[in-house]
Structure 1
């Protein structure tokens, strides 16, 4: 009988170890729910170097331009998923997470979109239409320009970009690989200012130093072409940057200059 009592007592004590934390969490949640929002803490990723949005922009998104204020609201009445959806509606926002802390603050963490390139709409004669265009992110998705900040990035133009769905095609995926390469190679990132892509997907590149037009052809097997170009730059063009205005590497085994 004593053993049965001891067993029951040990079982009861073990149960307490499970029940007490649950009760404590429930009480903490209840107190937190009754708290009122003391502050809105907004964090925007700073490592990207992008400044499309500031804290005021995010606060206006959270509060529906001030029509639904958060400060002073009971935290139990604040629907975090709704706040996240409000912020994500802005196409300059890539990710958003909203949560509450133990001090009664609503914490908002925002990651902005990061452009790999900027598409500039052009007229039939090639003139830029500066009032229109989009950024292109790493996934080949277009997102709008910002009224407050212009990112320094590769400029792209040409009829291939008119239909954004083209970037999901086989040619478009190869083109995105090329754009990523131009963003990660330090030499070519500094040298290539603009990319023109015709309706068939053939690529021409415009340089900063020397103002050359490089005919690359289709954006496939492009790394060997750039390796040959780099040798050509070091041995020939570095002696006279204005010597040629047009360089063609459309064909894998030759460089044609004019």
Structure 2
């Protein structure tokens, strides 16, 4: 007869294992919702040394320059998505996530844009026209210069960079690959001072050692061209880097020097 009561008792125990965690989560959510915002915790990620924004800059973005201070606000009334959208309006920011923690903090995690290159406005003979320009991210996104920080990035010029849409074309994709290569290869990162790309994607750049103008052609097969140029450096220019002022490797299987 006692076995008749075993099954309801087992069912009750199993139900409790389900109900109690759910009830606990509900109580925690209710407590968190009634809790007040005690602090803004800001975390800024980005390339080492890059500081387009500081914590005060992000705080001003989150609070609408102090108009919405958040501190003391009920956490259930804080619209996290709205805060994220406020921060993302700044073009120097790539990603933003805002959430609340169990301590009553509103946590703001920001990732800065990563500058791959910096476009500068130049004349046809390569002279800088003014200090205007913008950065180009490693994803081909244009974003503005910072008033408080100047990142060390490859200088680029030329009309090809005047239209962000061109970087989405086949020629633009090859050019972006070349720029990434120049930022990761130790030798060429130190050797290339400035790169120019005209409206057709024809590339030329100035070197640090030897102060030479290299006519590179388009970015297709860029690695083979750089290998050919490096071999020329080792075999011909290693004894006299200033021997030539202009070197063209745009034509297949030949190097033209002046």
Shorter-chain TM range is over 0.9
Q: What secondary structure is seen at the aligned counterpart in 2 of 1:103?
A: coil
Give the aligned partner of residue 134 of structure 1: 134
Give the aligned partner of residue 245 of structure 1: 245
1:235 positional shift: 2.5
CA distance, structure 2, for counterparts of residue 8 and residue 20 of structure 1: 18
Q: 1:47 to 1:168 in 2, by over 3 A?
A: closer
Q: What secondary structure is seen at the aligned counterpart in 1 of 2:194?
A: strand
Q: 1:137 to 1:245 in 2, by over 3 A?
A: same
CA distance, structure 1, for counterparts of residue 145 and residue 255 of structure 2: 37
Which residues of structure 1 form unaligned runs of 5+? none
Residues 48 and 114 of structure 1 are in contact (CA less than 8 Å); yes or no, is this contact kept in structure 2?
A: no
Give the aligned partner of residue 219 of structure 1: 219
Q: How many residues align?
A: 258
1:165 and 2:165 are equivalent in the alignment = yes
Residues 47 and 114 of structure 2 are in contact (CA less than 8 Å); yes or no, is this contact kept in structure 1?
A: no
1:40 positional shift: 0.8
Give the aligned partner of residue 197 of structure 1: 197
Question: How big is each residue's C-alpha offset from its partner over 1:41-98, in whole Å with a ceiling of 9 and x where there is no partner?
Answer: 1111154431000000000000001001111111111111111111111111001111
Q: What secondary structure is seen at the aligned counterpart in 1 of 2:216?
A: strand
1:123 positional shift: 3.6
Q: 1:135 to 1:235 in 2, by over 3 A?
A: same
Q: Which moved more, 1:45-54 or 1:201-210?
A: 45-54
Give the aligned partner of residue 20 of structure 1: 20
1:34 positional shift: 1.3
Give the aligned partner of residue 256 of structure 2: 256
Q: What secondary structure is seen at the aligned counterpart in 1 of 2:238?
A: helix
Q: What secondary structure is seen at the aligned counterpart in 1 of 2:37?
A: coil
CA distance, structure 2, for counterparts of residue 91 and residue 39 of structure 1: 25
Q: What secondary structure is seen at the aligned counterpart in 2 of 1:110?
A: strand
Which residues of structure 2 form unaligned runs of 5+? none
Give the aligned partner of residue 187 of structure 1: 187
CA distance, structure 2, for counterparts of residue 192 and residue 47 of structure 1: 21
Residues 46 and 113 of structure 2 are in contact (CA less than 8 Å); yes or no, is this contact kept in structure 1?
A: no
1:253 positional shift: 0.9
Matches for 1:56-67 after TM superposition, within 5 Å: 56-67=56-67
Q: 1:125 to 1:205 in 2, by over 3 A?
A: closer
1:194 positional shift: 0.7
Q: 1:187 to 1:125 in 2, by over 3 A?
A: closer
CA distance, structure 1, for counterparts of residue 58 and residue 26 of structure 2: 31
Normalised by the length of structure 2, the TM-score is: 0.96
Q: 1:85 to 1:41 in 2, by over 3 A?
A: same
Residues 244 and 257 of structure 1 are in contact (CA less than 8 Å); yes or no, is this contact kept in structure 2?
A: yes
Superposition RMSD in Å: 1.4
Following TM superposition, the consecutive aligned residue runs of length 4 or more in structure 1 with deviations greater than 4 angstroms are: none
Residues 44 and 109 of structure 1 are in contact (CA less than 8 Å); yes or no, is this contact kept in structure 2?
A: yes
